[in-house]
Structure 1
Amino acid sequence: MLTLALLLAAADPAKGDFQVFGDWAVACDNLRACEMTSLLGDPADWPDDGPLTASIARDAGPQGGFTVEVDADKTTGALALNIDDKPVAHSVSKESSVRFGGADAARIVAALANGKTLTLSQGPLTILTVSLAGSSAALRFIDAGQGRAGTVTAAVAKGSKPASAVPAGNAAPRIAAQRASGVAASVSVAMRAEMAKLSGCDEADTDNDTTMKVDTFALGGGATLALLPCGSGAYNLNTVPFILRGGKAQPADIDYSGDGSGEAAMLTNAWWDAKASTLSTHAKGRGLGDCGEDATYVWDGKGFWMIELRRMDECRGSVHWLRTWKAEAVYR
C-alpha cells in the first residue's frame, strides 16, 4: 500500500462536487474553492473560431472574492461587460480574454444572479453572448459549498449572519514527493512482453512496433517510469504505467485513475514533466476537448499521488475544466 508521508486526505478524489444547472457547470474542490463556467447549446450556433464562454471563481473563507474571466475571441482593446444590455463593468483585453476582480467582479455577480443574458461588447460590436440560465442556481451551490448560505457574503442565499460565520477554506493535503533524477532504464523485448501480460491490455493494443514504443522516464533512486501503449483512438492514447527497478517491471501504484484493467491502472494522453517532476493526464471526451478529465500526480518513491483533478462532465463547448481536487506537493 502506498504511504503518504505527511498527511493522508480522507476525501475520495474521485468524488468531487460537480453539478450542472441549466447553461452552467459548477464545482467545488476539497479546499472549498469553487468555479463555474458557462455551457453552450447547439454547435451550429457557435462562433466560427470555436466556442466562447464565461467563467467565475470564488475563493473560500470569509474574505473570499470573485474572479470573472470572459473569452474575447482575439479582440483587443477596451471592452464592456453587459447584463441584459446594461453595462456593468469595463476592462481591456490583451490575450483573447478579459478578467475582472474585486469590486467589478462582485458587481457582475450581483447583476447576473437575476439576469438573463451576459454580453461582451466593443462599441456596437457584440463579441460574446452567454445565457445566464442556471447561473443563479450555480451561485447558490457555491454559497452552500463554501458555508456562506445565510450570511452577508452569499451571492444568492443571502442572510443576516456576519462574514465571520463563514468557515475558512480547508488546508491542502501535503504530499511528500521526490524530484526526478538519474537516467531512464531501457525496456528489453522480454521485459515488454512481461509488461504486456501484466497490463491486462488486448494483445493488439500492445503491439511492439515503432509507432507504439514504450516511453521511459527517470524518476530517481533507481526507478524508471515506463508507459506501455494500451490502445488509442482519434484523440486519445491509453497507456499503462509501470515502474522499472533492477531489471524488473511492475504496474505502478497510482492512488486514483479513471480506468484500468483491475490489475493495472490506465492513463490517457499521459506525459512526464521532468522539470516539474509531475505525471499528467488529459482524457478528452471528444476531439474538441470540451469535456473529459485531467489529473496531475507526483512520485513519492513508491507510487504516484494525485495533486490536482479537473473535470468537465458536459460536452457543451467549455474548455475551462473545473477543479475538484487539490493537494500540495512537498519535495524532498
Structure 2
Amino acid sequence: MLILTTLALAQATPQLGPMKTFGDWVVACDNAKRCEMTSLMPEGGDWSEHGWQLAVTRAAGPAGGWSVELFGHDGPAAGLTLKIDGADGAAWRGHAFNGADAAALVAAMANGKGVTLHDAAGKSIGRISLTGSSASLRFIDAEQGRAGTVSAAVARGSKPASAVPAAPALPVIASVRAAGAPAALSPALLDQLWTQSGCAENYEDEPRPGVERHALGGGATLVLVPCGAGAYNFSTVPYVVRSGTATLAGFDTAPGWGGDEGPPMLVNAGFDAKTGELGSYAKGRGIGDCGSAETWVWDGSRFRLTEARAMGECRGASNWLSVWRARAVSR
C-alpha cells in the first residue's frame, strides 16, 4: 500500500509551493514544506552597500532546524562580522551558520531593522535590510504548522514542538536511465520539425543552428529544435523521436515559456546524459537575479518535474527559492 501511495503521488500534477514578497525579503516553501527566505536589494539601493544577501532556510517537521547563508561580493571573507541593529555581532565562520548559531541569528532578525557587515578591522562594508524579515518568518511558521508552538520564530505559543506536523514525503519518480545512441534524423524529418514547431521563421535571414539530439533510453531520442535567442535566453522546442516518428515532448508541468496555443518552450536548455536530467533556466534579466529554473527526468512517456526554483523579484537576489522537489529513481 505504501508503494502504491508513493507512486500515486509521483503521478499527480506537481503543485508548486507558495512564494511571497514582504518588504525587502522573498519567502517560499516547497511541497515538502522546506522553506527559504532571501534578502533583496532595497528599492533605490546600490551594489556597493547592498550587494550582500542573507538566505535563511528552515527544514520542516518538529525538529526542523535553521541554516543562514551569506552571498555576494565573492562570498564570506575571513574576519567578517554580522551585527544586527548595532548589537554585538556574530563572527562569520565557513559557508553557513547552522544549529544554535543560526537560531540565534534568526531570533535577532525577527525584531531587527538591519544587518551591518564589518571587516576584520571593524569597518562597515555593507548593509542588509531586515524590512519584511519578520513577516517572512511568520509566513514560515504558518506554512510549517508551527504557529502557536514553542518552535515558531515569530508566532510563538505554548504548544510543544511535537505538535508541529511531520515533513511531507518527497514524491518518488521512476525514471528511465539514459542509454543508447540518439536516432539519426532524415532531412525530411528535420524539415517537419522546423515547420511544425514554427521555429523556422526565426531563421529566414540566417542559417539555421544545429539541432540537439540526446538518447533517452528505450529507443527514444530527445530533439531540441532552436527557436530564437535574445541577449541572454536561448529558446528550444523539445520533441521525442521514436522509430522515425516525432511528437512534441510531454511534461507533467508545462515549461514556463510558450503559450497555451503554442508548443512547450525550454530556455537555455541542457540535458545531462549521466543523470538523465533535462533542465531549463530562464533569466528575467542579464545579471540573473530573477527568473525560473526547472529540472525534469524521463519516465518513458513524458518528462516529470524533480525540481523547480524561482525568483519573482529582480532586486539583486542570486539565490532563487525552491518551490518543488521530487526524488528520481532510475529503473
Shared fold (TM-score greater than 0.5)?
Answer: yes
Q: 2:149 aligns with which of 151, 171, 192?
A: 151
Task: Give 1:46's aligned residue.
Answer: 47
Task: Give 1:241's aligned residue.
Answer: 238
The verdict on how the C-alpha distance between 1:12 and 1:125 changes in structure 2, with shifts beyond 3 A counting, is farther
SS at match of 1:37: strand
Q: 1:220 aligns with which of 203, 217, 220?
A: 217
The verdict on how the C-alpha distance between 1:153 and 1:5 changes in structure 2, with shifts beyond 3 A counting, is closer
Aligned length: 323
Asked whether the equivalents of residues 88 and 107 of structure 1 are also in contact (C-alpha less than 8 Å), the reply is no
The verdict on how the C-alpha distance between 1:21 and 1:128 changes in structure 2, with shifts beyond 3 A counting, is same
SS at match of 2:90: strand
- The amino acid across from 1:163 in the alignment is A
TM-score, with length taken from structure 2: 0.91
Report whether the alignment pairs 1:130 with 2:131.
Answer: no
The verdict on how the C-alpha distance between 1:87 and 1:13 changes in structure 2, with shifts beyond 3 A counting, is farther
Asked whether the equivalents of residues 16 and 30 of structure 2 are also in contact (C-alpha less than 8 Å), the reply is no
Q: 2:196 aligns with which of 176, 195, 198?
A: 198
Q: What are structure 2's unaligned runs of at least 5 residues?
A: none
Report the Cα distance in structure 1 between the residues aligned to 2:218 and 2:6, rounded to whole angstroms.
17
SS at match of 1:260: coil
Asked whether the equivalents of residues 266 and 280 of structure 2 are also in contact (C-alpha less than 8 Å), the reply is yes
SS at match of 2:241: strand
The verdict on how the C-alpha distance between 1:146 and 1:44 changes in structure 2, with shifts beyond 3 A counting, is closer
Asked whether the equivalents of residues 198 and 263 of structure 1 are also in contact (C-alpha less than 8 Å), the reply is no
Note the C-alpha offset of 1:72. 5.5
Note the C-alpha offset of 1:71. 2.1
Task: Give 1:23's aligned residue.
Answer: 24
- The amino acid across from 1:318 in the alignment is A
Report the Cα distance in structure 2 between the residues aligned to 1:249 and 1:64, rounded to whole angstroms.
47
Note the C-alpha offset of 1:209. 6.3
Task: Give 1:321's aligned residue.
Answer: 320
Asked whether the equivalents of residues 120 and 126 of structure 1 are also in contact (C-alpha less than 8 Å), the reply is yes
- In the TM superposition, 1:63-212 aligns within 5 A as 63-71=63-71, 73-74=73-74, 76-93=77-94, 98-123=95-120, 124-199=122-197, 201-205=198-202, 212=209
Note the C-alpha offset of 1:186. 2.5
Q: CA RMSD for the aligned pairs?
A: 2.2
- Map Cα deviations across residues 254-275 of structure 1 (whole Å, 9 max, x no partner): 1111122535211111100111
Note the C-alpha offset of 1:225. 0.5
More moved, 115-124 vs 255-264: 255-264
Name segments (4+ residues, structure 1) moved above 6 Å. none
Note the C-alpha offset of 1:313. 0.5
Note the C-alpha offset of 1:86. 1.4
TM-score, with length taken from structure 1: 0.91
The verdict on how the C-alpha distance between 1:11 and 1:46 changes in structure 2, with shifts beyond 3 A counting, is farther
Higher strand share: 1
SS at match of 1:212: coil
Asked whether the equivalents of residues 26 and 136 of structure 2 are also in contact (C-alpha less than 8 Å), the reply is yes
The verdict on how the C-alpha distance between 1:5 and 1:301 changes in structure 2, with shifts beyond 3 A counting, is farther
Report the Cα distance in structure 2 between the residues aligned to 1:104 and 1:251, rounded to whole angstroms.
50
- Map Cα deviations across residues 60-118 of structure 1 (whole Å, 9 max, x no partner): 0000010000125235313222101213422334xxxx410011100000001110111
The verdict on how the C-alpha distance between 1:46 and 1:11 changes in structure 2, with shifts beyond 3 A counting, is farther
More moved, 116-125 vs 60-69: 116-125
Task: Give 1:57's aligned residue.
Answer: 57
The verdict on how the C-alpha distance between 1:209 and 1:252 changes in structure 2, with shifts beyond 3 A counting, is farther
Task: Give 1:300's aligned residue.
Answer: 299
Report the Cα distance in structure 2 between the residues aligned to 1:223 and 1:107, rounded to whole angstroms.
52
Report the Cα distance in structure 2 between the residues aligned to 1:122 and 1:323, rounded to whole angstroms.
31
Q: What are structure 1's unaligned runs of at least 5 residues?
A: none
Task: Give 1:309's aligned residue.
Answer: 308
Task: Give 1:232's aligned residue.
Answer: 229
